[in-house]
């Protein structure tokens, strides 16, 4: 069993997502309040004949930030130019993107919190005044030139909005947070995706996949593909609740959606660090994973489900974690077998 299953499940499969990604608000399931606010903004902007305000989409990986950016661009009848924070290495890269935009275009920057601070500062006048200040030449001959930009919409996506500077945050007219999905919405997504992929699935099979998908559509779609393969090879290709349960058990994904790495994290905190508190860097070394991956991929779900508490001193395992692993706190604060 691969050690980084959940990290793999959170990675987008480009070919699959192009097939399954909804292109209209009416096809987008979940996030009802966010969707309603965005639809109103689109309708108002279209009535005025203006570009949308800049929008920041915040939330854990796989919840639909990129999908919403595509839907917004299509709803506005605008071209979408996509990039990501880490790929913009120099100010000239950003200048090239901005100067190639046309009136009303949408610029989507994924992982915007990873923009370098010096590059981020070029965005301030571009977002606020639609101007771009660039430096030409060097030394005594250096001079600043201000370029006019067409009115465009910047859509930023981030998993860690706390890393964005205050000046950048305040320049987004709309800031929306995407939360984990409920099982009922994920079930609709699984059944819709199965229909698009031509997979025969029973509602109970869709429910079984949905409830183990960690509240994340991307994981639900990736699990659907893996269960489809299992059903095709081991059975007649039809996904039932029993087949889904067997396939997910083979993948070591339990009834609560926890995989091998989730359990390793909890077990490490309890057995090696006496239940915590433990810092994320120490925890990352102990489990053989990157600190950023723990913070962005594993921790949010474990905290939401009540397995972990995050304090100023570090991560602490909750009573639910002990129950999950069949452990209890013995006298003196050391864990013991139930």
Considering 171, 218, 228, 315, which one is annotated as catalytic? 218
b/e sequence 207-234, b meaning 16+ C-beta within 10 Å: bbbbbbbbbbbbbbbbbbebbbebbeee
Which two structure tokens, joined as six digits, stand for 9? 């499940």
Continuous H helices in the chain: 5-9, 14-20, 32-48, 65-75, 91-99, 117-128, 166-169, 183-197, 203-211, 217-234, 241-250, 260-271, 280-287, 291-293, 299-304, 319-325
Is residue 66 among the annotated active site residues? yes
Residue 317 gets which letter from DSSP?
E
Q: Which helix (H) or strand (E) holds 115?
A: none
CA separation for the pair 231, 225 (Å, rounded): 10
CB proximity list for 113: less than 8 A, separation 6 or greater: 85, 158, 159, 160, 161, 163, 164
Catalytic residue among 158, 159, 216, 268: 159
Residue 99 known to be catalytic: no
Pick the catalytic residue from 110, 185, 259, 262.
110
Does the annotation count 81 as an active-site position?
no
Q: Which of 35, 65, 214, 315 is catalytic?
A: 65
CA of residue 328 relative to chain centroid, distance: 34
Distance separating alpha carbons of residues 306 and 86, to the nearest angstrom: 32
Catalytic residue among 21, 35, 66, 318: 66
129 tagged catalytic? no
151 is catalytic: no
Catalytic residues: 65-66, 110, 159, 218
């Amino acid at each position: 069993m691969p050690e980084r299953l959940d990290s793999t499940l959170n990675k987008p499969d480009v070919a699959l997502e192009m097939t399954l990604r909804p292109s209209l608000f009416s096809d987008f399931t979940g996030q009802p309040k966010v969707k309603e606010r965005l639809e109103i903004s689109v309708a108002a902007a279209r009535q005025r004949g203006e570009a949308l305000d800049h929008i920041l989409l915040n939330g854990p990986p796989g919840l639909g930030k990129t999908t919403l950016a595509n839907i917004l661009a299509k709803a506005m009848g605008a071209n979408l130019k996509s990039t990501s924070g880490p790929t913009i290495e120099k100010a000239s890269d950003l200048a090239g993107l901005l100067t190639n935009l046309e009136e009303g275009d949408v610029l989507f920057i994924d992982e915007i919190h990873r923009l370098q601070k010096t590059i981020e500062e070029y965005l301030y006048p571009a977002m606020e005044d639609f101007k771009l200040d660039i430096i030409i030449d060097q030394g005594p001959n250096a001079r600043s030139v201000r370029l006019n930009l067409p009115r465009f919409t910047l859509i930023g996506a981030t998993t860690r909005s706390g890393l964005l500077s205050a000046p950048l945050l305040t320049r987004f007219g709309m800031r929306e947070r995407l939360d984990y999905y409920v099982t009922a919405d994920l079930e609709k997504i699984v059944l819709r995706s199965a229909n698009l992929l031509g997979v025969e699935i029973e509602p109970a099979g869709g429910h079984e996949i949905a409830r183990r998908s960690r509240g994340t559509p991307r994981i639900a779609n990736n699990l659907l593909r893996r269960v489809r393969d299992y059903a095709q090879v081991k059975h007649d290709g039809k996904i039932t609740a029993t087949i889904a349960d067997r396939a997910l058990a083979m993948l070591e994904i339990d009834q609560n959606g926890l995989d091998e790495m989730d359990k390793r994290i909890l077990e490490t905190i309890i057995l090696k660090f006496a239940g915590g508190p433990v810092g994320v860097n120490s925890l990352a070394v102990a489990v053989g994973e990157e600190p950023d991956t723990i913070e962005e991929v594993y921790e949010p779900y474990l905290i939401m489900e009540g397995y972990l508490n995050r304090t100023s001193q570090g991560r602490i395992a909750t009573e639910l974690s002990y129950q999950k692993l069949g452990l209890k706190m013995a006298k003196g604060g050391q864990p013991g077998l139930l």
